[in-house]
Amino acid sequence: MLGNLDFSRVRALVAQYWRVVVGACLAGAAVYVAIEMSDRQGRFDISYGYSVAMTCEEDPESYIWGGGCDRIKADIARKDRPSFLDLYRAFVTVHHTRIPSPATSERFADIPCESDFDLNATLKGTRFILSVDRFENVCSRANAEAIMEEIDERDRALLTIERGGLSFSALAAGAIANLTEPLILFAAAAVILFLWFA
């Protein structure tokens, strides 16, 4: 009898506060997915960060891709532990920032091509040759340089995550970066509005 009474009370509370229950369940699911994604992203990023450093090591074949390593040499040499904010920014850069960025694509969209510009010659012998797909339709030195700078930022971010390792700070920073993705925030706002007016 007492069990039935308790169940009835629970059912009544759920019926009364169903919006809160649904919202809490959706929020919990979103946090869980964000953490799982962060864990997976971080494990891959550590490998990618290590590969960035390896690319710039002295090697008999480094002439093929070793150019441009001076741009991130200081970041490769760093051994300090990144802060939570550094890790958050790194995850945003790696997983929530396009290369080339929309701003870069828009800035060079209407700029005429340089007749003497050779993309292959520009990238030859540099580490940017490993990201040649990022330079699609690039036909000026300034555009290529802008994309190189964005790749530098991505590689610095990968090195930051690699230094962070499999720590709780890195996991939390990645999860928050996933949850603050604009599309996720828009979806959350839409759900809140739906529950509010339902």
Mean pLDDT of the chain, nearest integer: 88
Run of H or E residues at 114: none
pLDDT digits (tens, 9 = 90+) for 50-83: 999 999 988 887 788 889 999 999 999 999 999 9
The residues pairing with 67 across neighbouring beta strands, listed in sequence order, are 126
The answer to whether residue 14 sits within a structural domain is no
Average pLDDT for 28-36: 89
Q: 154 to each of 90, 93, 97, 99, 158, how far by Cα in Å? A: 8, 6, 9, 9, 6
- Residue 2 scores a pLDDT above 60: no
The residues pairing with 126 across neighbouring beta strands, listed in sequence order, are 67
Hey, what amino acid is at 112?
P
pLDDT digits (tens, 9 = 90+) for 164-180: 999 999 999 999 999 98
Q: Determine the pLDDT at residue 27.
A: 82
Q: Is 156 in contact with 78 (CB distance < 8 Å)? A: no
The answer to whether residue 33 sits within a structural domain is yes
The answer to whether residue 8 sits within a structural domain is no
The answer to whether residue 152 sits within a structural domain is yes
The answer to whether residue 110 sits within a structural domain is yes
The answer to whether residue 34 sits within a structural domain is yes
Query: Helix or strand or coil: residue 58?
Result: coil
The answer to whether residue 61 sits within a structural domain is yes
Average pLDDT for 126-148: 95
The answer to whether residue 126 sits within a structural domain is yes
- Residue 8 scores a pLDDT above 70: yes
Q: Determine the pLDDT at residue 108.
A: 94
Q: Is 112 in contact with 195 (CB distance < 8 Å)? A: no
Domain that residue 193 falls in: 21-197
> What pTM, to 2 d.p., does this model score?
0.85
- Residue 9 scores a pLDDT above 90: no
Alpha-helix residue ranges (DSSP H) falling in the chain: 2-16, 18-55, 73-77, 84-95, 102-108, 119-123, 141-164, 168-179, 182-197
Q: What is the count of structural domains for the chain?
A: 1
Cα of 4 vs its chain's centroid, Å: 50
